[in-house]
Amino acid sequence: MKRQFSRFFGKSKKRSALLAFSTVTVLAAVSVGQEIKAYFTPPEIFVAKPYVQLGQGKIENEKVSHDVLFLARNDKHEWELEYKTAGAKSWQKAKPLIKSVLEESQPEAVSLFSTTLSGLPAGKPFTYRVYRDGMETFSANAKAQVAENQAFKFIVAGDLGAGSHGQKRIAQRIYSESPDLWVMPGDLVYNMGLLSDYLARFFPIFNADESKEAIGAPIMRSTLCVPVIGNHDIAQSVMLAPTNLNRMHDALGYFLVWSAPLNGPLKQFQGPNICPIVGTQSKLSAFQQGAGKRFPQMANFSFDFGNTHWIVLDGNYYMDWSNPEMRKWVSEDLAKASSAKWKFATFHQPAFSTDLYHLKEQRMRLIVDTLEKGGVDIVFAGHAHNYQRTFPLHFKPTTGKMNHDGTVDGAITLDKAYDSTENTKPNGIIHIVTGAGGARLYSPTDNAEINRMGDFLLKQISDCHSYTVCKVDGGKLTVSQISDAGKVIDKFSLKKD
């Protein structure tokens, strides 16, 4: 049968034009003396089709490197990848693919294949294609990270992979925006962030072959998406208990399938401010091998994109943002980014939210003073499955420690003069919750306690799935919240000289 395949498709790359291999049904056998034909569909080539990632994402001399990743079975095939910038004459070979087995040793274990495409001109489109055993099996177009002087558009939306109609509609809407970047502030896939959750409710929808309301859209293969870790990404089966690999062997998919800058402060496998994990030695080793340096480094990191600087933080239960070393890393990172026109912080658990479910999860208020000093303009969070925007605000903590009930005492000062039209320079950070990306929506009455908690909320919309679109053009930043029906449900802008 293998020979029939070769004859049918040819071995030469030039002759191969096989883009949707898995959908091709091949004649397998003809029963002697009968007209009945038996067919079989070849097994899926990919467990998750190729997708582009920021990788280390550093621009030098207007050139940038990005990673392409895909998941396939741990088999004996030979993989190659080549790429070409729009307008270039020839294809360039990518570095040999690196394989990391993501499951405990077993035949056909799921493996991550990754490579880096270097020398991509900033902000320019490029095409990449993947070969298995010399046959082209996949091809996609993407766009490289923009340079400092280029205007660009980014999306922020979290609380995503629930497999819902809302998630699929949001995927389709976001794809139609053709963003340069999508930042995902946590709860990337439900319910536990397992590798198997990614395969069921994340990749099939966000890396679908076509853009359709009932399916999803081909976003991951074409758009740089940046992850943020949320509470559903750490497989917590019991509140505040360590992630248990004996119960869920494919937990912490966050550290297995993403490639974001590894410039965070945490480098040990275990210790303070690191997600605690338990399991047999073989399960722990399998995870450690699959994740490599990404665990725990990729829980906190930073990157530049155009004229913006982003700091991505972990807001989960094991984090102590009163810790001097963690605070020092945040403050130094923001100070180093002094040339960035705009600075954004993103984490899952909002510092300021009015939803009833998370009123006492104020852990991230502990780091807000450092973000303010570092010049952060907007904080993007998720966790509450709705949209919220605060007035620009300053927060002055009273003790700098979290209370036993999860609250953080301090004084909030609001800037009510900022109106986005006459007054476009906010005094303080605007905190946005954009957690309506696909998970079950919270009730519109969830802001019932707003007055008791402080009058910091300017807008809340809970009756539709939605996402945030930001357009950056030099010193002008426009932020719009768009519903899954394409309606603008909030809009404001900021200006800087």
Residues of the shown chain interacting with Fe ion in the complex, contacts defined by CB under 5 A: 159, 187, 439
In the bound state, the residue with its beta carbon closest to Fe ion is 187
The least distance separating Fe ion from the CB of residue 434, rounded to whole angstroms, comes to 12
Query: CA-to-CA distance for 113 and 79, rounded, in angstroms?
Result: 9
Minimum Å gap between C-beta 159 and Fe ion is: 4
Looking at beta carbons only, is 226 or 266 nearer to Fe ion? Answer: 226
Q: Which residues touch 452 (CB under 8 Å, ≥6 apart)?
A: none
Q: In 3D, which of 292, 284, 334, 339 has the Cα closest to residue 313?
A: 334
Nearer to Fe ion by Cβ, of 123 and 186: the residue is: 186
For residue 192, the minimal CB distance to Fe ion (Å) is 12
Question: Between residues 187 and 314, which has the closer beta carbon with respect to Fe ion?
Answer: 187
Q: Which is nearer to Fe ion, 187 or 361 (CB)?
A: 187
Structure tokens at 367: 């780091």
Residue 103 structure tokens: 């499951």
CB of 143 to Fe ion, least distance (A): 29
What lies within 8 Å, CB to CB, of 362 at 6+ separation is 351, 402, 406, 407, 408
Shortest distance (Å) from residue 435 CB to Fe ion: 6
**Which of 194, 325, 187, 328 is CA-nearest to residue 252?**
194
At closest approach, how far in Å is the CB of 187 from Fe ion? 4
Q: Least distance to Fe ion from the beta carbon of 459, Å?
A: 20
Choice between 47 and 381, CB closer to Fe ion: 381
At closest approach, how far in Å is the CB of 391 from Fe ion? Answer: 24
Which is closer to Fe ion, CB of 18 or CB of 436? 436
Name which of 159 and 304 has its Cβ closer to Fe ion: 159
> In this complex, which beta carbon is closest to Fe ion, that of residue 82 or of residue 159?
159
Q: What is the 3-state secondary structure (H, E, C) of the chain?
A: CHHHHHHHHCCCCCCCCCCCHHHCCEEEEECCCCCCEEEECCCCCCCEEEEEECCCCCEECCEEEEEEEEEEECCCCCEEEEEEECCCCCCEECCCCEEEECCCCCCCCEEEEEEEEEEEECCCEEEEEEEECCEEEEEEEEECCCCCCCCEEEEECCCCECCCHHHHHHHHHHHHCCCCEEEECCCCECCCCCHHHHHHHHHHHHEEEEEECCCEEECCCCCEEEECCCHHHCCCCCCCCCEECCCCCCCCCHHHHCCCCCCCCCCCCCCCCCCCEECCHHHHHHHHHHHCCHHHHCCCEEEEECCEEEEECCCCCCCCCCCHHHHHHHHHHHHHCCCCCEEEEECCCCCCCCCHHHCCCCHHHHHHHHHHHCCCCEEEECCCCCEEEECCEEEEECCCCCCCCCCCCEEEEECCCCCCCCCCCCCCEEEEEECCCCCCCCCHHHHCCHHHHCCCEEEEECCCCEEEEEEEECCEEEEEEEECCCCEEEEEEEECC
Antiparallel, parallel or unpaired: β 98-101 and 110-121? antiparallel
The residue to which tokens 């999803």 are assigned = 216
Nearer to Fe ion, 189 or 256 (CB): 189
CB of 440 to Fe ion, least distance (A): 9
Nearer to Fe ion, 159 or 415 (CB): 159
**Closer residue to Fe ion in complex, CB, 206/305:** 206
Q: How would you class 85 by CB atoms within 10 Å of its CB: exposed for 0-12, middle for 13-18, buried for 19 or more?
A: middle
Nearest residue (CB) to Fe ion, 228 versus 299: 228
Distance from C-alpha of 441 to C-alpha of 42, rounded to nearest angstrom: 39
* Nearer to Fe ion (CB atom), residue 264 or residue 437: 437
